[in-house]
């Protein structure tokens, strides 16, 4: 599953121009065609008694292949290593609208009462908009809180997915910026870079996944570090996952290839890249 975060940088739109803000400051689309990010994901699974059962190492490279006024197209290449064996997957192409929708229609945003969030001990007054996305057998309702003068501009997003027929709730995802002033060492950067911290809570009838992610606005896709844990309906930890940034670039993306250690590594191309030494 590809989870795309919609926290964006400021300066793109006023308080009444959410659509333009989402389109122009999308964490992938704003970097343009050819931008890419390579991450490595480690997953550990546990049984009902909390004992580790198995795990996997996943290499994920996402590349922007097209950007239009309506949507961005991403190519996702994944290779999974399990018990020392490597399994390359078929590349997936994902077309995504700027509100995060992959299919369906979006009704015009409704203006809600402004709200106040507290971040780093400081109150931030936010505009609020509600979006409805309908398509197929489900419908999604999303409330976005944003402050156009801040970085990032979108500070909270809550989405509820329901069955289109009877309205049964299937899933709720809430993401919120928790801190604006953190640092992380990025690949091939001499000095630590400023990042912001996001907490995401994903809940359904099978359990809850809590994710902490660190976002660097200068990196395509933004997420450069991440950790999460999934608990079942009884609160027992079933899975732990970590993500680390391996490389990123802004032009023609490289192909992933196996290096001498059996791991995947990007091959340098003619255009600018940044990667781990």
Q: Which residue has the tokens 């290499």?
A: 59
Average of pLDDT values for 96-103?
Answer: 77
User: For residue 270, is pLDDT > 70?
Assistant: no
Label residue 83 by pLDDT band (50, 70, 90).
Answer: confident
Contact criterion met (CB below 8 Å) for 195 and 136: no
The model's pTM is: 0.82
Q: How far apart are CA 36 and CA 218, in angstroms?
A: 12
pLDDT of amino acid 3 = 40
Q: Which residue has the higher pLDDT, 96 or 260?
A: 96
Q: Which residue has the tokens 């940034």?
A: 245
Contact criterion met (CB below 8 Å) for 76 and 38: no
Residue 31 — φ and ψ, nearest 5°? -90, -15
Contact criterion met (CB below 8 Å) for 25 and 12: yes
pLDDT in tens, 160-218: 999 988 889 999 999 999 999 999 988 867 888 999 999 999 999 999 999 999 999 99
Boundaries of every domain in the chain: 18-275
**Which tokens in the block code for residue 89?**
């997957």
Q: How far apart are CA 256 and CA 260, in angstroms?
A: 13
% of the chain at pLDDT higher than 90:
61
Q: How far apart are CA 147 and CA 123, in angstroms?
A: 11
Label residue 252 by pLDDT band (50, 70, 90).
Answer: low
Q: How far apart are CA 162 and CA 166, in angstroms?
A: 8
Residue 218's Cβ-count burial label (10 Å; 0-12, 13-18, 19+) is middle
Residues 6+ apart with CB under 8 A from 14: 148
Label residue 8 by pLDDT band (50, 70, 90).
Answer: very low
User: For residue 223, is pLDDT > 60?
Assistant: yes
Please name every residue paired with 132 in a beta bridge, in sequence order, or none if there are none.
141
Residues 6+ apart with CB under 8 A from 43: 55, 56, 57, 58, 239, 240, 241
Q: What is the mean pLDDT of the chain?
A: 84
What count of other Cβ atoms lies within 10 Å of the Cβ of residue 248? 27
Average of pLDDT values for 111-139?
Answer: 91
Q: How far apart are CA 265 and CA 216, in angstroms?
A: 22
Most confident of 14-28, 198-212, 256-270: 198-212
Give the torsion sign (CA, 225, 270, 189, 149): negative
Q: How far apart are CA 150 and CA 184, in angstroms?
A: 20
Average of pLDDT values for 211-226?
Answer: 96
pLDDT of amino acid 167 = 87
- Picking from 48-52, 123-127, 240-244, 250-254, which range would have the lowest pLDDT averaged per residue? 250-254
User: For residue 131, is pLDDT > 70?
Assistant: yes
Q: How far apart are CA 17 and CA 62, in angstroms?
A: 28
């Amino acid at each position: 599953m590809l989870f795309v975060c919609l926290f964006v940088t400021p300066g793109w739109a006023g308080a009444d121009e959410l659509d333009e803000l989402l389109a122009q400051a999308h964490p992938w689309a704003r970097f343009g065609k050819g931008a890419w990010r390579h991450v490595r994901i480690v997953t550990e699974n546990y049984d009902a008694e909390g004992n580790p059962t198995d795990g996997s190492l996943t290499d994920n490279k996402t590349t922007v292949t097209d950007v239009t006024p309506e949507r961005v197209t991403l190519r996702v290449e994944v290779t999974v290593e399990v018990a020392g064996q490597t399994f390359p997957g078929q590349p997936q192409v994902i077309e995504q609208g700027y509100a995060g929708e992959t299919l369906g229609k979006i009704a015009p945003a409704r203006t809600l009462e402004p709200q106040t969030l507290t971040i780093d001990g400081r109150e931030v007054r936010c505009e609020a908009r509600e979006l409805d996305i309908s398509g197929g057998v489900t419908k999604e309702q999303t409330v976005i809180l944003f402050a156009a003068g801040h970085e990032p501009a979108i500070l909270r997003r809550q989405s509820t997915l329901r069955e289109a027929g009877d309205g049964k709730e299937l899933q709720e995802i809430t993401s919120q910026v928790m801190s604006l002033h953190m640092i992380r060492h990025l690949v091939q950067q001499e000095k630590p870079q400023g990042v912001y911290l996001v907490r995401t809570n994903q809940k359904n009838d099978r359990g809850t996944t809590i994710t902490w992610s660190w976002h660097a606005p200068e990196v395509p896709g933004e997420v450069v570090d991440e950790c999460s844990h999934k608990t079942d309906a009884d609160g027992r930890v079933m899975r732990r996952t970590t993500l680390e940034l391996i490389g990123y670039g802004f032009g023609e993306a490289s192909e992933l290839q196996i290096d001498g250690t059996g791991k995947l590594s990007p091959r340098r191309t003619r255009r600018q890249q940044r990667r781990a030494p």
